[in-house]
Structure 1
Amino acid sequence: MKTKNSHIQFKGITYITVTTFLLAIIFSFFSDIILKKSNVIIAFFILMLIVFIGIIFDMVGMAVATGDEKPFHSMAANKVYGAKQSIKLIRNVNIVTTFCMDVVGDISGIISGAALTTIIIKLSIQGTKSTIYFTILGGLLSAVTIGGKAIGKNIGINKNQSIIHIVGIFLAWIEKNIGINIFSDYRNKNRK
């Protein structure tokens, strides 16, 4: 027997799956085009940018997962820019963490692997040497990604209120200047 909650979860899972598919296509398409047209140095820079994006989004996801909305209530009462959006982030913790840590984090991991393959091809290394280079660079990429995410998550836990407020300011700017409201009004959500 289906419940309303399982229907909502199925809808959310479907939304995340479709969003992931679309974002992966967009990021893969543009990174592939840029990487193919760039030299090796720029390709390495793009690879590091992709890894950095994954680290930043993991940090934001961890900050929201460990954040507390109480400090933002007084900020919202004093009309501090971004405070309402910060509350919305925390009240939508499941969506935010899934998007930041799973969707963007995993997409950046997959695209960075593909970018590394493109770089190896650009270096025109073939045969056994390509395997050795790919193995060494793949290990280095994994170490930088995992180490960076570990540092980012640690920062996310220890500086969660500051990070949430920075993201809240960014969302407030989007709402004001672009007119896109990412989350519904925070007053409609049940308080923790």
Structure 2
Amino acid sequence: MARNLGRSSWRNALTMGGGTFFIALAVGYGSQAFLGSITSIVLSFFLLLIIILAGIVFDIIGVATAAASEAPLNARAARKIPGARQALGLLRNAERVTSFATDVVGDVCSTLSGAVGAVIIIRLVGRHGAEDMLVSTLMTAAVSAVTVGGKALGKGFALRQANDIIFFVGRLLYALERVTGWYPFNYPSQKGRRP
């Protein structure tokens, strides 16, 4: 039994690590290509803000998944409210969802925000002749403050509104499933059928 748990942990770690590598590769390449195609500092800051907000939003989803309870969602699922069964799927796979949302996406967004911040620093120093160390220090401090402050605010919101957040994400997944036919989780009780 302990050996199976060990293998499962290793498999999960390798899957998450490999997934993180490819997600970071794709998103990093896309953001660098986007940055290379724009010359506006304002658009560069806008991209940086989007990356930071994505990290905060996924952190909220991860915390809400860990904090939500099944009872209200079971009641909604019994009434066949769209999105309720998808939300239950998130809760029944809370460990995987939380790891993906907070570790994979959160870490990728943190790394990317640092890389985009570095590009902005280079552009500011090159164009405006600003003091390199001063701009670098201010940019690092600003990115860190917005990220940490946003996540702290988001965690409190996620803990207070966990069930509503998970239900909202469930509704998004329901819409995604209706359009694409894809859903990331199966219910054991449904014998492999998608909810």
Query: What TM bracket, shorter-length normalisation?
Result: over 0.9
For residue 143 of structure 1, what is the aligned residue in structure 2? 145
Deviation (angstroms), 1:188: 6.1
Structure 1 unaligned blocks of 5 or more: none
For residue 111 of structure 1, what is the aligned residue in structure 2? 112
The separation in 2 between residues aligned to 1:75 and 1:66, in whole angstroms, is: 18
Q: 1:65/1:186 Cα in 2 relative to 1: closer, same or farther (>3 Å)?
A: farther
CA RMSD of aligned residues (A): 1.9
The separation in 1 between residues aligned to 2:104 and 2:71, in whole angstroms, is: 28
Q: Which amino acid aligns with 1:129?
A: E
Whether 2:17 is the aligned partner of 1:17: answer: yes
Following superposition of structure 1 onto structure 2, how do residues 1-192 of structure 1 map, counting pairs within 5 Å?
3-38=3-38, 39-123=40-124, 124=126, 129-185=131-187, 187=189
* Aligned partner of residue 3 in structure 1, secondary structure: helix
What TM-score do the two structures reach when normalised by structure 2? 0.91
| Identical columns (%) | 34
Farther off after superposition, 6-15 or 103-112: 6-15
Q: Which amino acid aligns with 1:158?
A: R
Deviation (angstroms), 1:187: 2.8
The separation in 1 between residues aligned to 2:105 and 2:75, in whole angstroms, is: 31
What TM-score do the two structures reach when normalised by structure 1? 0.93
Q: 1:74/1:186 Cα in 2 relative to 1: closer, same or farther (>3 Å)?
A: farther
- Which 4+ residue blocks in structure 1 deviate beyond 2 angstroms? 125-128, 186-189
8 Å contact from structure 1 (residues 36, 118) kept in 2 = no
